Structure 1
């Protein structure tokens, strides 16, 4: 969706909400940035709380509660990543190959091979 920014919340009908992306310093864009930052902060906090519980014995209700909150934070983080990726012009679909292969190709394109100058010291 060129020219549009997905907001970090849905519209009244539960569908994704968008605003024009031509004003990144506008009040709605700054509000969306703030919400995204809060969503990522909540996810980081939850992760810090959940990690120690992975080795604990939990009741089914406790485990389900933890799983639901973790899923909510993961959904929010993926929405933030998708929105930011769209603004950067990244493709929506996965790139072919393994993550290592994709990273390797990206690095090869990003860095210029610098050949050491020949000459003795």
Structure 2
């Protein structure tokens, strides 16, 4: 993806650096190995979020669920929500680049 001036638009990747900072990738519209890896990782993250949501519902729907199980479910849901929001942000930024006249991945 690129701006109208053919300047590559950084892609927000679905993982963090070792320091906990966001990672970005500059690539042309043809993509490459890291772009495909990021696409695959986003797919896995969203599928995992669906699985965790389904499992958490079982715990949260049971009023007699132990506190530790409810807390564990909440922590996992928060992790999955963080991943899903990063995927949404990344995809939104790529859509904005396309609307601005760039080319897609």
TM-score (norm 1): 0.68
Identify the residue that residue 20 of structure 2 maps to in structure 1: 14
Work out the CA distance in 1 between the residues paired with 2:24 and 2:14. Answer: 9
| Superposition CA RMSD, Å | 1.6
Identify the residue that residue 57 of structure 2 maps to in structure 1: 51
The question of whether the paired residues in 1 share the 8 Å contact of 2:13 and 2:25 is answered with yes
Q: Which runs of 5+ in 2 are unaligned?
A: 4-8, 98-105
Work out the CA distance in 1 between the residues paired with 2:27 and 2:85. Answer: 19
Identify the residue that residue 38 of structure 1 maps to in structure 2: 44
Map Cα deviations across residues 87-114 of structure 1 (whole Å, 9 max, x no partner).
0018xxxxxxxxxxxxxxxxxxxxxxxx
Map 1:54-69 → 2, pairs under 5 A: 54-56=60-62, 57-69=64-76
Work out the CA distance in 2 between the residues paired with 1:53 and 1:63. Answer: 6
The question of whether the paired residues in 1 share the 8 Å contact of 2:14 and 2:42 is answered with yes
SS in 2 for 1:89: helix
Q: Which moved more, 1:64-73 or 1:6-15?
A: 6-15
Matched, 1:77 2:84: yes
Q: How many pairs are equivalent?
A: 89
